Amino acid sequence: MTEQVKIPAGGARRQTSARQEAISEREIANFTRQLATMLKAGLPISSALETLSRGQHCSAAVNRMLADIRRKVGNGSSFFAALETCPVRFDTLYLQLVRAGEQTGALDAILERLASQMEYILTIKGKLRSMLYYPTLTVLVALGMIAFAFPNLFFPVVLNLAALIGGAWGVLKARKTSRDFRIRLDRLLLNLPVFGKLARDSAIARWSRVLSMAYASGVPLIETMGLLDGATGNHVYDRACRHIQFALERGDTLLQAAQTARVFPDMALQAISTGESTGKLDSALNKLAEYHEQEVDVRVAIIVSLTPPLITIVLGILIGILVISFYSEYYGGLGL
């Protein structure tokens, strides 16, 4: 086990510049992967940053970020401090893992793990996003058919569809602004037949993967739980992280704290117990993350494969109802 890295309570204070730039998650993941590869090859951090800045496929925002980080590292700043104060915002967890990697001399390994985690999350998001393409195209085609065949029904259908989309947008907006609503909505999501297991596996996979990385880097468990708040993708598990943090501060073991959180299945608790008893908690958590990531992959594949036929069936039923309703009103008006 590496030496423990002391992190100030509440995370590091960010000294942000007046101008904040946003670059995509994909660009952050690519930057992390390329830098990790160069560091593992033995290049100093300054040389690696210079090589990256000469790349021909970076956006203007990434080039400005690299120039800013190079300048600060060249002036004697640490890589962590340069990231903390650069115009592009890196999340607290990313920064603290980089800081731990620098202090323990394992920055290349930390960046490689971070890149793998970000790439995995982006892959899952891409699969879920692609799942929406077919339903969207089907809805547009159905609206076109209704507009052509039944023009009198087009505007009522569009209004109802707009009301449905507006309601969904309102729910998402409320989820972002109200903590209590987020928790209730995420708890409801966890109890859904198919999507609940997907959300649970995804949250546990993120929790165990990030906890494994932080623990292997020497970040104390108590501080890690504070960094995990917001990293699981589900606010029920985020609240569990805060509960575990308070329990660890009282002197409980990780197993005891996870048991009292009441959101982890027996398999996860068994992995934590084995890891703590053998002194290989990071390895046990890695195995746990791999299992749940495989479960997420399987469930996403099933949902993606079932979505097109389900959407087709639902739209067929709805269009059939509209046609029957239209002809019933038409022939009823004729007195037939």
- According to the model, what pLDDT value does residue 87 have? 80
Amino acid at 133: Y
Radius of gyration for the chain, computed over Cα atoms and rounded to the nearest angstrom: 25
CB 12 within 8 A of CB 96: yes
> Phi and psi (nearest 5°) for 88?
-85, 135
> Distance of alpha carbon 110 from its chain centroid, rounded?
18
Percent of the chain with pLDDT over 70: 79
Q: Which CATH class is domain 118-336?
A: mainly alpha
> Phi and psi (nearest 5°) for 11?
85, 170
Q: Which CATH class is domain 25-105?
A: mainly alpha
CB 238 within 8 A of CB 207: no
Strand partners, 88: 21
- According to the model, what pLDDT value does residue 225 have? 85
pLDDT bin (cut points 50, 70, 90) of residue 268 is very high
In the predicted model, is pLDDT for residue 214 greater than 80? yes
Instruction: Taking residues 206-226, report their average pLDDT.
Output: 84
- According to the model, what pLDDT value does residue 226 have? 80
Structure tokens that stand for 161 in this block: 């569809």
End-to-end CA distance of the chain: 84
Q: Which of 16-20, 153-157, 224-228, 276-280 has the highest mean pLDDT?
A: 276-280
Instruction: Taking residues 32-41, report their average pLDDT.
Output: 91
CA distance 272 to 289: 12
In the predicted model, is pLDDT for residue 10 greater than 80? no
Residues in the chain: 336
In the predicted model, is pLDDT for residue 241 greater than 60? yes
Which of 12-21, 69-78, 235-244 is predicted least confidently?
A: 12-21
**27 or 124: which leads in pLDDT:** 27
pLDDT bin (cut points 50, 70, 90) of residue 62 is confident
In the predicted model, is pLDDT for residue 13 greater than 50? no
Q: In the predicted model, what is the mean pLDDT of the chain?
A: 80
pLDDT bin (cut points 50, 70, 90) of residue 269 is very high
pLDDT bin (cut points 50, 70, 90) of residue 314 is confident
Burial class (CB in 10 A: 0-12, 13-18, 19+), 53: middle
Instruction: Taking residues 153-169, report their average pLDDT.
Output: 71
Burial class (CB in 10 A: 0-12, 13-18, 19+), 152: exposed
- According to the model, what pLDDT value does residue 12 have? 40
pLDDT bin (cut points 50, 70, 90) of residue 23 is confident
Question: Could you tell me the residue ranges of all domains in the chain?
Answer: 25-105, 118-336
- According to the model, what pLDDT value does residue 266 have? 92
Please indicate whether the domains covering 25-105 and 118-336 agree at the CATH topology level: yes
Q: Which of 54-68, 77-91, 151-165, 180-194 has the highest mean pLDDT?
A: 77-91
Structure tokens that stand for 58 in this block: 């970076």
Under 8 Å CB-to-CB from 218, ≥6 apart: which residues? 1, 2, 3, 4, 5, 100, 103, 104
Instruction: Taking residues 56-81, report their average pLDDT.
Output: 85
Structure tokens that stand for 159 in this block: 């209004």
pLDDT tens sequence across 81-135: 999 888 878 887 888 888 888 887 888 888 988 898 888 888 888 877 777 777 7
In the predicted model, is pLDDT for residue 186 greater than 60? yes
